[in-house]
Chains A and B, each alone.
Chain A
Amino acid sequence: MTTKLFGEPVRRREDARLITGRGRYLDDIGAGALAAAFVRSPHAHARITDIDVEAALDVEGLVAIYTYEDLTGPMAEPLPVLIPHPQLHAPRTGYPLADGVVHHVGEPVVMVVATDRYVAEDAAERIVVGYEELPVVVGIDTARAAEHAVHPDVPDNVAARHHQETGDVEPALAASPHTLTFTQTIERSACTPLEGKGVHARWDPDDGSLRVYSSTQASTSVRAAIAAKLELSLDRVEVIAPDVGGGFGVKIVHPWPEELLVPMAAMRLGREVKWAEDRREHFVSSAHERGQRQEVTVGFDDDGRLTALDVHVWHDNGAYTPYGIIVPIITATQLVGPYVVPVYRVVVESLYTNTVIVTPYRGAGRPQACFAMERTMDRIADALGLDRAEVRRRNLITPDQFPYDHHLTFQDGRPVVYDSGDYPGLLEKLTALVGWESVEERRAEAAGRGKLLGAGMALYVEGTGPGPYEGGHVQVLGSGKVLVSTGLTSQGQGHETVFAQIVASELGVPMEDVEVHTGDTRRFGYAVGTFASRAAVMSGNAVALAARGVREKALRIAADVLEADPSDLEIDEGLVQVRGTPGASIPLRTVAVLSNPLRYAFDEAAKQATQFATHDDTKPPVAPGDAPGLEHRDYYSPLRSTFASGAHAAVVEIDPQTWEIDVVQYAVVHDCGNVVNPMIVEGQVHGGVAQGVGGALYERMAYDADGQLQNASFMDFLVPYASEVPDVVIDHQQTPSPLNPLGIKGAGEAGVIPGSAALASAIEDAVGRRVAAMPISPSELYDLVRDDTAERTAASTRRTGATA
């Protein structure tokens, strides 16, 4: 790249509206629309015996009530299994409104539409649903025990058994000088974006078209789902993601029941209808993630080098599997991390429970994978009495081993082949950044202050930017304005800025001239969505390719006008000029005008392109194979994912009286290839780390045995405030990806991945007890340290002179 915008910390253009209150989030749209509210199941598993709406009917302002009985055609069928997989042998999905049986608390049973949300809630409150309670399955152990089934035709509660292996693990373990076997658990958490989900729909009866706004990460696919379910032609449906108040994965799932029901109601009523999810609804009816139990057996030699790894994971997928087994696959395949694992076998059993669905939350199975692998590294170090950084170093894939094939199949159905990286480089930077060598001194210093200090680290490799594709469209208008659109959506990642930087750089125009639109099917109909840290890689490259197409055409047209060879032309600051010949130039906007031969001069600039202003009568105004307009559409479809990497270290101080855990240092080294905007990438890291710390020390979806979510509020589900988030120091490494034109890798999810692993390691290092379950609260830590049966680390025994 030659121009200065790519790689610069350009300030975000979306901010101007967001800091002045002029953002347009879902609930800001459609003032005066009818409001929807839902009667949701209060039971985790029950048969619906009766729905009595009588008492709701005299609520003033009530407009409509819908139950399953009112659904017709495809709406009465189960919601789609979005990502089918041969190993998902028993997929189950719910219905837009429950058909006879509810499988988790929060499942929608009745939809109410009224003049406003207050009234809709009044009516919903008066609807009496009769239930006959059924046995409830909550938690992985209960699901495995299978005394009761979530779905009667899946008696063992196993939805999928995902299995991959790279060799014969049993003989390899048998031949290993050392082996260790252990079990760990990680609890449920959730994305909890500050804006809940939401849908607004407007039906135009005159032309039979539907416009839907949804707070989604995948507008094109929501559109296709609505068209299919409501039996509309695709061209009659438009879906737009407005400003979205955070996603983190939960808004990639679709179609949510409400995304279908709100448009259905709008069509039936001929009125605008809106649903803005409230916080309580979000807790009990949007998706969660993370919950896993892991059994790890590892073989290693005297130097701590891995010889074999055998992992069995039980994954809680909630009541349904609309998103397939993506999270299990990611856990299975990303577990190997930056290490050489000679023989690897993994089985992930995905289990039904009577809880809300489990679908990707930032990191999507990787935090669990990282927890398994990194804690394995810690255990090997502990067993052999080696430094934890050293054991990692010995096992890392080295820079000369790329492309590195793990012989696994990734979430996109493609091989796990790491494209590039420098993992020893990451580790070296990390140990320097955190001061790994001086941890013992700091431990002693902290002990003098009555604190237990511990340090931990965790490395990860993250497959980012999976296909199948994204597209971009770039158009230069006669005004000089450059319109860029791509189909994927934005939830705060600064795409308007990043894509503008890319296009401005590629095209040679000032960034102010570039206007970017995302997530609007009216502008770009083909897209996959924003997930798996793929936006910059996929749409970034697509808009770059589209810009290159525009550039090529512009040079061709300008070369004609300037009577020069296209290869002698350059574009700078919106001016096409002959290199080295000042004055021989034409503004790009004039090229845009000339690109569209005209009959009518609708404005001053257009005159230049009208039929009596141009003179070449040897060819048709639009040459064969050419098209009017200075625009280009292109797609980027990668062969496979690109693999970003990173390393985190945490230092904690623990008060041995209260067992409060204070994260006193948090260091990150991060490699996402070439960086378009370092300011934005750092912001992503900060946000990810905060979620990682939250997931390790504060957040947990606490279900009781009856399937009631005990902490369905921000009062009790502890999203950290600033006071709980440590300051983060960041160092960068850039190993470009050879797979895509811009050499970039994804950065969106990375920050969250190693949080639980690094903090568990640090806490374990501080207290000398094995930490095998995360998250951990001070109360749980207190239980751990006074439990005589809790395993002590060998390191702590060595430190205290083998007294324990």
Chain B
Amino acid sequence: MKPPPFRYADPGSVDEALDVLAAEGDGAKVLAGGQSLLPLLAMRLAAPATLVDVNRVPGLDRVEASAGGVRVGALVRHAGLLRDTAAAEVQPLLARATADVAHPAIRNRGTTVGSIAHADPSGELTAVLALTGGSVTVARPSGRAEVGWRDLFVGPLETSLSGPAVVVDAFFPALAERSGTAFAEIARRKGDYAVCGAAVVVTLDEDRRVAAVRAAYLSVGPVPEVHDLTEAVAGKPVDSADWAAAGALARTLVDPDTDLHATADYRRLLVGVLTERTLAEAAAEAAGRTAA
């Protein structure tokens, strides 16, 4: 379990990184926290010709929280985002989900953006990006562009990025007015990738009735999906909404797979349970943020 041979560069800017990526061609890969890439190398499941380490690029380690949302630079570690109170304020889902990513030592190294670029449908942050309707900024030799989450995730561990490209940040829109969020997951061992997880957002109208309910799930499909569950509870007063009905609806919308750790049916069960539980929590938060 030793990495195969590769060449290594640690450019000092995004442009230099792009130059190296362009020059090295298809065999080149970006190295960020390495917490997903290095295990793949150790198992020799990946054999990039060149690793382009972006860790020395200045300016990518910033979290910028503004009224509109949170922009997370490519070198922000999971641990850094978890500590960022301003970010949690603007989009509480970030910290809630990140707390369930792996263990502290891995969070000290792995990056939020890396986990999105890795496009693991079991990852917490891919689901959060999807649910919040987020996007990433992709730098290419031709310039920078925003890529929305729907266009980014194309398959398990597969993004639409090809050719020389560096994701320089990810943007998570702020939690909307009169809204609340919650996150929950069930993993076999604490810190493991989830058997199933749910991230939800509930939005109320001015009368504290349910206006919109959306959910995204972990480990239930090849790519993160967002499901609109509003119809199950639309217009219901927040205190008497039937979250179980929303859970039941969610179960009909997902199409999970069976693997070593759980059957598809069990995952579907959890989708229902976690949806119900997180919605109740999110609704309470939304209610708290909505003047009576």
Chain A interface residues toward B at CB < 8 A: 117-118, 121-122, 125, 278-280, 657-660, 698, 702, 710-711, 713, 715-716, 718, 720-721, 723-724, 777-779, 782-783
Contacts and interface: CB of A to CB of B under 8 A. Distances in A.
A204 B39 CA distance: 39
B261 A779 contact: yes
Given A125-B44, A698-B189, A778-B195, 19 more contacts: A118-B2, A118-B3, A118-B5, A121-B2, A121-B44, A278-B1, A658-B269, A710-B260, A713-B43, A715-B39, A718-B192, A721-B190, A721-B191, A723-B189, A723-B191, A724-B189, A777-B261, A779-B261, A779-B263
Contact of B5 (A122, A659, A698, A721): A122
B142 to A, nearest CB: 37
Contacts of B195: 778-779
Interface in B79-116: none
Nearest to A723: B190
B220 to A, nearest CB: 14
A700 to B, nearest CB: 9
A450 to B, nearest CB: 12
B144 interface: no
Nearest to B188: A718
A442 to B, nearest CB: 24
Nearest to B273: A657
Contacts of B186: 658, 660, 778
A708 B193 CA distance: 22
A118 to B, nearest CB: 4
Contacts of B260: 702, 710-711, 716
B288 interface: no
A280 B195 CA distance: 23
Contacts of B261: 716, 777, 779
A724 B1 contact: no
A723 B195 CA distance: 16
A259 B244 CA distance: 60
Contacts of A698: 188-189
A783 B262 CA distance: 10
Nearest to B47: A125
Contacts of A657: 273
Nearest to A116: B2
Contacts of A710: 260
Nearest to A717: B260
Interface string B170-212: 0000000000000000101111110100000000000000000
Contacts of B265: 782-783
- Interface of B, helix, strand, loop or mixed by DSSP: loop
Contact of A777 (B2, B43, B262, B269): B262
A125 B4 CA distance: 10
Considering the complex of A and B, which 7 residue pairs feature the smallest CB-CB distances, nearest first? A723-B190, A779-B266, A779-B262, A278-B1, A118-B2, A657-B273, A782-B266
Contacts of B192: 715, 718
Contacts of A279: 1
Contacts of A125: 4, 44
Contact of A721 (B189, B193, B262, B273): B189
Interface string B257-292: 000111101100110010000000000000000000
B179 to A, nearest CB: 26
19 contacts: A118-B5, A121-B2, A122-B4, A122-B5, A278-B1, A280-B1, A280-B43, A657-B273, A658-B186, A713-B43, A715-B192, A721-B191, A723-B190, A723-B191, A724-B189, A724-B190, A777-B261, A779-B262, A783-B266
B270 A658 contact: yes
A125 B261 CA distance: 30
B34 to A, nearest CB: 16
Nearest to B266: A779
Contact of A718 (B5, B43, B189, B273): B189
A729 B192 CA distance: 28
Interface in B143-178: none
A283 to B, nearest CB: 11
Nearest to A716: B260
Nearest to B258: A779
Contacts of A118: 2-3, 5
Nearest to B191: A721
A727 to B, nearest CB: 16
Contacts of A723: 189-191
A128 to B, nearest CB: 15
B273 to A, nearest CB: 5
A718 B193 CA distance: 12
A658 B193 CA distance: 17
B120 to A, nearest CB: 12
A55 to B, nearest CB: 14
A715 to B, nearest CB: 8
A266 B130 CA distance: 57
A702 B1 CA distance: 21
A658 B266 CA distance: 8
Contacts of B263: 779, 782-783
B266 A778 contact: yes
B247 to A, nearest CB: 10
Contact of B188 (A658, A713, A777): A777
Contacts of B270: 658
Contacts of B269: 658, 782
A724 B5 CA distance: 38
Contacts of B39: 715
Contact of A658 (B189, B191, B273): B273
A659 B263 CA distance: 13
A454 B14 CA distance: 58
Contacts of B43: 280, 713
Contacts of B4: 121-122, 125
A698 B261 CA distance: 9
A728 B266 CA distance: 30
A425 to B, nearest CB: 37
Contacts of A121: 1-2, 4, 44
Contacts of B190: 721, 723-724
Contacts of B266: 659, 778-779, 782-783
A723 B188 CA distance: 10
A379 to B, nearest CB: 27
Nearest to A120: B2
Nearest to A658: B273
A343 to B, nearest CB: 42
Contacts of A702: 260
Contacts of B193: 715
Contacts of B262: 777-779
A124 to B, nearest CB: 10
Contacts of A724: 189-190
A117 B2 CA distance: 7
Interface string B15-59: 000000000000000000000000100011000000000000000
Contacts of A658: 186, 269-270, 273
Nearest to A37: B2
Contacts of A777: 188, 261-262
Q: Which of B39, B44, B266 gathers the greatest number of chain A CB atoms within 10 Å?
A: B266
Contacts of B273: 657-658
A280 B1 CA distance: 7
A659 B266 CA distance: 9
B217 to A, nearest CB: 15
A85 to B, nearest CB: 36
B80 to A, nearest CB: 24
A108 to B, nearest CB: 16
A240 to B, nearest CB: 26
A724 to B, nearest CB: 6
A667 B188 CA distance: 23
A117 B188 CA distance: 33
A657 B248 CA distance: 13
B251 to A, nearest CB: 13
Nearest to B1: A278
Contacts of A122: 4-5
B244 to A, nearest CB: 10
Nearest to A782: B266
